[in-house]
Amino acid sequence: MVSIHVNIMKSFNGALLAKIVFGLLAIFSSHISHANELKVVATIKPVHSILAGLMKGIEQPKLLIEGLPHKYKADRRAQQTLAESDLVVWVGSELERELQSTLSSLPEKVKVIELLSNPNLKILSKRYDDNRRDPYFWLDSRNTLILLDELAQALIDIDPVRTHLYTRNRRDVRTELRQFDRQLEYGYRGLQGGVGYLYHDTQQYFEQAYALKTGGELLATPDSTVEATKVLKIRSQLADGDFDCLLTERGMPESYLELLLPKNSNQVWQLDSLGQQFEPGADLYIKMMRHNSSVIKQCLKVNSAPLKRIDSALVQELAENAEAGRFIMINHLGEIVTEKEMRGKYQLLFFGYTSCPDVCPLSLHTLAMALDELGERAKQFQAYFITVDPERDDVITMRRYVDYFEDRIIGLTGQQPMLKQMAKHYRVKYKRVYDNPGDKQNYQMDHTAGLFVVAPDGQFITKLAHGISSTTMAKALTAIVK
């Protein structure tokens, strides 16, 4: 074996040898027995989500903490899980403060990674305490890109035989994260001067990364206390309109909430920076971040400005050079949407406009009734109302319109180059028809009617004609998913 190895080393250059080794690793990794199962534990959901993406097709990591980490104490079963692990990833004592002693007493074979001590991550101090670290680093998605690389290397170090799998998964997850980070950056360029107030101090990373303005924070940590004078001052500022809204955190204590705002106030918006409402898994991180960005935009009363502020060069690039079916639009909540976000469910696409006198209202009403008739099968579909009149149909107009018909319909608007690209892809025609050529503001849109049905992978399936009944539509859609 030694002589064969030496001969191979002499006969082939380094690049070819690397390919041979890579291929052998792929063969060996496919025969790894269950006895060699890699046991990885993440303490919180956002970190678990990144690990789950890296370990796709391998063993999945275990999630230690389902709820809030601040007061979590490991019971006997959790201690055993940790002791039997190959790798444990936690944030640090500023977040999972009761875990420090448990982790320090684990067997030497267990590799423990404390993320707040990682010099490659951008870790901020607490706002008013330089001696403590702010633990919510993952709310800056650029930090999460660094985290992805750090965790991928950690997995390769303890499980080198599957390096090729971790490398592949890292590349796939990184592509998604980079695209999402770009969407966040462009989406927040459109925010207009709104200011929210934080109940819990969780958003420092998000503020710095995306230029979000907040008016301050009530509690430094979930179990902090605050003087009554401060509560009364914030209550007065909220009442006077100095702040647009109050941002709370899902699951965290809200002992002072009734003192700050009247019961059922529409000024309260709930973030979820730990992803508590989402099922653990590889897609949790982006779902959580999309939720938070949507909540912040609604809290700050996002208007049509994001539509005008999407990078025009990016729009033009996609419209002119991308393959068919690529686009970037804005939904009725002010969030940027691309064709990738629409995949996963059957898509029902209707092109129209909010000033439409008859065709659009009738079509959306029929669609809403068909979704009702589908019952549980309706969960397999996502309906979209795509405006062909983006100059008048801004985000707020679209929101009011779709909410009137059906809360399961998502409204999409966008810049003209993107709309033309999307309409061309589905062979939709539209043009302005002026009642009075001298009055450029008084016009109707002549447009293709009908409902386009698209598969979860983005492939066109069929078009349902305008004017069919909701029952006929429901039967046609049921036949597609059977």
Domain membership of residue 190 (yes or no) is no
Domain membership of residue 98 (yes or no) is yes
Residue that finishes a domain, picked among 299, 333, 358: 299
The answer to whether residues 101 and 153 belong to one domain is yes
The answer to whether residues 71 and 2 belong to one domain is no
Contacts of 380 (CB under 8 A, 6+ apart): 345, 346, 481
Domain membership of residue 253 (yes or no) is yes
The answer to whether residues 468 and 322 belong to one domain is yes
Kindly give the interhelix angle for 2-11 and 14-29, rounded to the nearest 10 degrees: 130
Q: What is the pLDDT of residue 307?
A: 45
Residues 67-101 have pLDDT tens digits of: 999 989 999 999 999 999 999 999 999 999 999 99
The answer to whether residues 74 and 223 belong to one domain is no
Q: Hey, what are 474's tokens?
A: 């429901």
The answer to whether residues 453 and 370 belong to one domain is yes
Residue that finishes a domain, picked among 131, 161, 183: 183
The answer to whether residues 95 and 222 belong to one domain is no
Domain residues for 19? 1-31
User: How many domains, the chain?
Assistant: 4
The answer to whether residues 147 and 294 belong to one domain is no
The answer to whether residues 21 and 143 belong to one domain is no
Domain membership of residue 287 (yes or no) is yes
The answer to whether residues 400 and 379 belong to one domain is yes
Give residue 24's Cα distance to chain centre: 37
Domain membership of residue 191 (yes or no) is no
Domain membership of residue 72 (yes or no) is yes
- Who wins on pLDDT, 295 or 157? 157
Helix (H) or strand (E) holding 270, with range, is: strand 268-271
The answer to whether residues 357 and 226 belong to one domain is no
Distance CA 459, CA 478 (A): 18
Which among 49, 75, 71 is positioned nearest to 62, based on CA atoms?
49
Residues 152-196 have pLDDT tens digits of: 999 999 999 999 999 999 999 999 998 888 777 655 544 555 788
The answer to whether residues 174 and 208 belong to one domain is no
Question: Among 160-174, 285-299, 395-409, whose mean pLDDT is lowest?
Answer: 395-409
Residue that finishes a domain, picked among 299, 319, 344: 299
